[in-house]
Amino acid sequence: MSGSDAAPVLVWFRRDLRLADSPALAEAAETGAPVIPVYVLDERLEGRPIGGAARWWLEKSLRALAASLEAIGSRLLLRRGEAGEQIGRLVAETGASAVFWNRLYEPEAAARDRALAERLRASGVRAEAFKGSLLAEPGAVLNGSGGPYRVYTPFARALRAHVGWPKLRRAPERLTAPSSWPASEDLNAWGLHPTRPDWSTGFDWTPGEEAANARLHGFLDEALDAYPTARDRPDVDGTTRLSPHLHWGEIGPAQVLCAARGAAEQGLASERAAEKLIGEIAWREFNAHTLHHLPHMPDRPLRPAFERFPFRDDPDGLEAWRRGRTGYPIVDAGLRQLWATGWMHNRVRMIVASFLVKDLLIDWRQGEAWFWDTLVDADAANNAANWQWIAGSGQDAAPFFRIFNPVTQGEKFDSEGVYVRRWIPELKSLPDAYVHKPWTAPAPVLTRAGVRIGGDYPGPVVDHGRARARALEAFATLKEQDSTKRA
């Protein structure tokens, strides 16, 4: 048989929602057989249900992918349920001779994929998995002792040497369609978009492969050269904002790497700027490799001593933090930006995380869970690794005693209060000298600005100086316990 009468190949999409540089799709197209693209909504895709903001993004990204497939003569089949079971059913329905997919590396996903591949091969179906979401397979970049790297900088050097200049795969120009299409579920029936209420009205994103490429190339043309310094300024558009596109695989890390290097070669940006962007891709890679080697990272501190850290049970503090009502403007602005847009500036993520863990002494896992539900770019490896970095309990983490002062951080990275005023309009008329510490403003200044501390804007939920001392005392108990054990 040939063409549409041949046994089809299933291409199982997950977090690779693009046509270009997709090894699974490219290999399927090259077989010459009919190709049936499928997405399975598995509520435990990454070991736990995806968050609300991620569901919002997924729905739009699937629509974009479906439109792209239709443009090359195909369509996107939708199924819902346990992924292995649904793929098995679809193989039986279509008589598929092969199933291709790009790998996921979260522990639950990887285990599920291995089990499915074994079942398919045992029944005579070809099962092939490809590297499509990382630059290097976990286990391919190891230290001199043959183990995983525990420190980022040598890992990044080894990764660059291992990867070189990746060869990108073109998007297929056409896909052979099967003689008949299996039934597909209705995306609208999945309820991925929030209702009652629709809290996503402020989400200013365009998901999809086309938007991801437009964002990347617009950034390279306009902002890459300033990236090493501008990326720390939440008051300017100095970051790539590619993180959700990368998480959902609307663009791949190899595409970003090649584009950054190409921009430097063409003189669009300095080598330093390009390498800084590549370094962020390498950090993403480091986190993914760490999760592969240490699968307990989302649930347990990577440094065992931190299992004994005396976190506080503080429901009121946690709620004030979530709502952006801590009384510290840079912290509150970040959390309000997160709720309104599904995203938070990277520098501010570090500030708000430090505040939760060290000023409030609340377990980092509480913050990780909130980010998981509210970020459009929520990623199991990045989310857990970055929270553990701030908490001092991760690999190559910031030392616990590095405690961000939310006032000085705001004054340094949002010196004119542009970011704070955008997200906390009740402070918009406060002079620059007080916008990051409004409780210190004299009463006449507050009156002229129309600000009532403890009314329309809260006073600080903690005194940072005392909170810092309390956090260091808590950290000291870990060292004391270790000394006692050694004695």
Q: What is the DSSP track for 461-476?
A: SS-HHHHHHHHHHHHH
Structural domain for 390, as ranges:
304-486
**What would the pLDDT profile of 96-124 be if each residue is shown by its tens digit?**
999 999 999 999 999 999 999 999 999 99
Single out the residue of 14, 9, 15 nearest to residue 29, CA to CA. Answer: 9
Asked if 272 and 376 sit in the same domain, the reply is no
């939708």: which residue's tokens?
78
Nearest CA to 101 out of 175, 24, 34, 172 is that of: 24
HEC string of 440-451?
HCCHHHHHHHCC
| pLDDT for res 2 | 47
- Asked whether residue 162 is assigned to any structural domain, the reply reads yes
* Residue after which a domain boundary falls, among 264, 293, 322: 293
The predicted pLDDT at position 484 comes to: 45
The b/e string for 243-276 (b: 16+ C-beta within 10 A; e otherwise) is bbbbbbbbbbbbbbbbbbbebbeeebbbeebbbb
In a domain, 191, yes or no: no
Q: For the whole model, what pTM was predicted?
A: 0.95
Rounded Cα gap, residues 356 and 326, in angstroms = 10
Query: The CATH number of the domain where 90 resides is what?
Result: 3.40.50.620
pLDDT of the residue at 482: 55
Residue 35 three-state SS? strand
Q: Which of 132, 157, 182 is the last residue of a domain?
A: 132
Q: How far apart, in whole angstroms, are the C-alpha atoms of residue 40 and residue 23?
A: 19
Residues 261 and 356 in one domain: no
Return the pLDDT at 485. 52
The number of beta carbons lying within 10 Å of the beta carbon of residue 316 is: 9
143 and 120: one domain?
no
Secondary structure letter of residue 128 according to DSSP: E
Please give the pLDDT value at position 431.
Answer: 97
Tell whether 248 and 275 lie within a shared domain.
yes
Q: How many helices (H) and strands (E) in the chain?
A: 19, 5
Residue 360 domain-assigned? yes
Cα separation of the two ends of the chain: 76
Q: Is there a domain that residue 359 lies in?
A: yes
Residue 8 in tokens: 């089809």
Q: How far apart are CA 436 and CA 260, in angstroms?
A: 35
- Residue 323 and residue 270 share a domain: no
Alpha carbon distances (Å) from 462 to 177, 327, 399 = 62, 9, 22
Nearest to 303 by CA among 486, 487, 479: 479
Please say whether the beta carbons of 35 and 176 come within 8 A.
Answer: yes
| Whole-number Å distance between alpha carbons of 189 and 195 | 13
Write down the pLDDT at residue 480.
Answer: 60
Q: How far is Cα 68 from Cα 131, in angstroms, rounded to an integer? A: 22
* Same-domain check for residues 221 and 331: no
Burial tier of 95 (Cβ tally within 10 Å: 0-12, 13-18, 19+): exposed
Q: Is residue 298 part of a domain?
A: no
Instruction: Kindly state whether residues 92 and 226 are assigned to the same domain.
Output: no
Token reading at 380? 């199991």
The residue assigned the tokens 């029936």 is 189
| C-beta of residue 29 within 8 angstroms of C-beta of residue 171 | no
Burial of 133-169, coded b for 16+ CB within 10 Å and e otherwise, reads bbbbebeebbeeeeebbeebeebbebbbeebeebeeb
Identify whether residues 60 and 31 lie together within a single domain: yes
For residue 346, the domain's CATH number is 1.10.579.10
| Number of other residues whose CB lies within 10 A of the CB of residue 74 | 25
Q: Are residues 330 and 257 in the same domain?
A: no
- The residue ranges of the chain whose pLDDT is under 50 are 1-2, 483-484, 486-487
Q: Are 478 and 308 in contact (CB under 8 A)?
A: yes
The per-residue pLDDT for 398 is 83
Q: Which of 132, 148, 182 is the last residue of a domain?
A: 132
Determine the Cα–Cα distance for residues 111 and 222; give it in Å rounded to an integer: 42
**Is residue 161 in some structural domain?**
yes
d(CA 423, CA 436): 13
3-state SS assignment for residue 126: strand
Alpha carbon separation from 273 to 207, 253, 267, 374 (Å, rounded): 26, 17, 11, 30
What is the pLDDT, as a whole number, of residue 44? 77
Q: CA-to-CA distance for 111 and 97, rounded, in angstroms?
A: 22
Cα dihedral 476, 477, 483, 487 sign? positive
Taking residue 376's Cβ as centre, other Cβ atoms within 10 Å add up to 27
pLDDT in tens, 424-468: 999 999 999 999 999 999 999 999 999 999 999 999 999 999 999
Of 38, 22, 41, 171, residue with least CA distance to 96: 38
- Number of domains observed in the structure of the chain: 3
Residue 267, C-beta contacts closer than 8 angstroms, at least 6 positions apart: none
Same domain, 88 and 112: yes
User: In angstroms, rounded to a whole number, what is the distance separating the alpha carbons of residues 90 and 144?
Assistant: 45
Cβ(425)–Cβ(324) under 8 Å?
Answer: no
| Domain co-membership, 245 together with 327 | no
Is 381 among the domain residues? yes
- Is 408 inside a domain boundary? yes
123 and 220 housed in the same domain:
no
